[in-house]
Amino acid sequence: MIQKHPLTGEKQAFRETGGSYLSGRSRRICTLLLFLLFSLFAFSLEWPASEGTLASNFASPDGGIPALGDSFTLSGAVYPSDVGKLIFVHDPDGPSSRFSSPLGSWMALDHGDNLVGIYGRYEDSRDTPVPTMIEKNTVLATAGRSGWAGEGGFYFAFFDRSERRWINPSIIISSLEDNSPPVIRQVELRNVAGTSFNPVSIRSLPQGLYTVYVDTVDTITAGGKTLAPNRIVCSINGVEAGALSFETLISKNGERMVYRNGLVPAAQVYDSGGFGLGEVRFTRGQATLTIEARDIAGNSRSLSYRLTVE
């Protein structure tokens, strides 16, 4: 029987809608519908392993673009997150593959209500074909090194076929136990001319339009892997000026899209200076810039900078 993941706590309902670019009544309706949908899954879905360490998570920078799922370092059995119907099996050494896949050996299971689970980067050591219907306690495979994996483990993702979007697994499965808030390593203000300003080292700022970049990471355990936070918010004088949310991601015309006050290409968000929170305007006078980073478990950290805008 599959064991409960030792890093998981109690089941928790969906907290924030992936459609965070909506506002007012539309956002409230969307939140309610998603809450009802994901709360149905929250009492049955489990992580696909009884042990393992999270190596990278949903929205972590993956070659300058957001990762669409979670990668675990693991040696051992991989299980389905829930009962599922087999949709596809990709064997890199079999006749179904003519091109290499970054996921190596992988399979897709339909878990119902248009939710598809993707399981990849495992060792394909089965002697028999994968059954059409897979029960929850069935061993899918053994974690391995297939695909573009740097170390032994497996890859896990959720895709909503009806909405055509990728879903952060931690939203609809018990979030991994985490008592550590994200770390904000650096905040950068970059004007239209490309000049950078560090709010830590300056006290005055020329008025104008700036793009805010936040270098922030989350860790589950001390010394653990650096992960992406769940939400980053920028406020000016207590008023929200920019927000970046990592509940869901969308692939549109071959490009990954991120929710940042609206749906924007990931290239506008992922930058060497950190996550781009968009443009904000500083006008003459006193301004307090506040940056808050929050993880999926609800831990948050905020920093404030008092600036004189000239």
- Looking at residue 303, its pLDDT comes to 97
Query: 121 versus 287: which is more confidently predicted?
Result: 287
- Looking at residue 118, its pLDDT comes to 94
> For the chain, what are the domain ranges?
24-172, 183-309
Q: How far is CA 53 from CA 48, 151, 177, 239, in A?
A: 12, 12, 12, 38
Instruction: Return the structure tokens found at 110.
Output: 């339909």
Tens digits of residue pLDDT in 97-138: 555 566 778 889 999 999 999 998 777 656 667 788 999 888
Tens digits of residue pLDDT in 186-223: 999 999 999 999 999 998 999 999 999 999 999 876 55
- Looking at residue 177, its pLDDT comes to 75
Fold (topology level) of 24-172 = Glucose Permease (Domain IIA) (2.70.70)
Tens digits of residue pLDDT in 228-278: 999 999 999 999 999 999 999 998 888 999 999 899 999 999 998 899 999
In angstroms, the CA 20 to CA 248 distance is: 9
Give the architecture-level CATH label for domain 183-309: Distorted Sandwich (2.70)
In angstroms, the CA 16 to CA 248 distance is: 10
